[in-house]
A = this chain, B = another copy of it.
Amino acid sequence: MRYELYYWPTIQGRGEFVRLALEEGAADYVDVARMPERKGMGVPAMMRLMKEAPAGRLPYAPPFLKAGRQVIAQTANILLFLGPRLALVPRAEAGRLWVHQLQLTIADLVSEAHDTHHPIAGSLYYDEQKPEAKRRAGNFRAERLPKFLGYLENVLAHNPGGDRHLVGRSLSYVDLSMFQVIEGLRYAFPRTMEGMSRKHPRLMALHRRVKDRPRIAAYLASDRRIPFNQHGIFRHYPELD
């Protein structure tokens, strides 16, 4: 099965959680919106599919994945679909729900990280909501980020399979997402994250191990990995850190 991923071609964004799973799972996939328009791909192909998905199953927004005739959107839902197909989840239903639950909690953290620079509206520029961004980022650094990371560190500490993975004894897609969130937070909030590293040794070790996995390391070194920039979810504004 050749998967088709549809996501904005110039940012990591939410699509990156899917890219990491596809890469670690050694899936055959094409990142459609990054391919040439003259070959019938690119952003126009993404826009077309948003308006005419098979069976009326329209995505609300990218990312979405095409697998045969099926179109699946919502990042966590795409990973729910891919998990068993790429051997990135436990076998039992209970374990799969637990992985998904953690993925949804990470999605909440990602939304809140985004809203630090866009607390009023995604359609306005950062400069149009700077005072509000400073207030929201202050609360994020002081309360929300420590609460989320403290929780996730605690999940690692309580995993009966050991603290090398969030769930069980082997890698699941939520470990990859956890890597991506720490990577993004370090880009956006280097000072804050430096201060938090010591309190979250298990998370930091997990981040390092994922980064060093051969397929992930090869991906990160390739030009398939889009660098962080000031258009994605994680943006570095020194005044917010």
Contacts and interface: CB of A to CB of B under 8 A. Distances in A.
Interface of A: 55-60, 70, 72-74, 76-77, 80-81, 94, 97-98, 100-101, 104-105, 108, 111, 115, 119-121, 123-124, 129, 132, 135-136, 139, 143-144, 148, 151, 154-155, 158-160
B98 A121 contact: no
A235 B123 CA distance: 24
Given A74-B100, A81-B97, 6 more contacts: A60-B108, A80-B80, A115-B115, A119-B132, A120-B135, A132-B132
A135 B136 contact: no
Contact of A77 (B101, B115, B121): B101
A104 B139 contact: no
Copies of this chain: 2
B151 A139 contact: no
A120 B134 CA distance: 9
Nearest to A154: B58
B158 A132 contact: no
30 contacts: A56-B155, A56-B158, A56-B159, A56-B160, A57-B98, A57-B101, A58-B151, A58-B158, A60-B148, A70-B97, A72-B97, A72-B101, A74-B100, A74-B105, A76-B104, A77-B97, A77-B101, A77-B104, A80-B80, A80-B100, A111-B111, A119-B119, A119-B120, A120-B132, A120-B135, A121-B135, A121-B139, A123-B139, A132-B132, A132-B135
Shortest Cβ-Cβ A-B pairs, 3 listed: A56-B158, A121-B139, A74-B104
A130 to B, nearest CB: 12
A196 to B, nearest CB: 18
Contacts of A105: 60, 74
A221 B16 CA distance: 46
Contact of A101 (B74, B158, B160): B74
A119 B143 CA distance: 15
B155 A143 contact: no
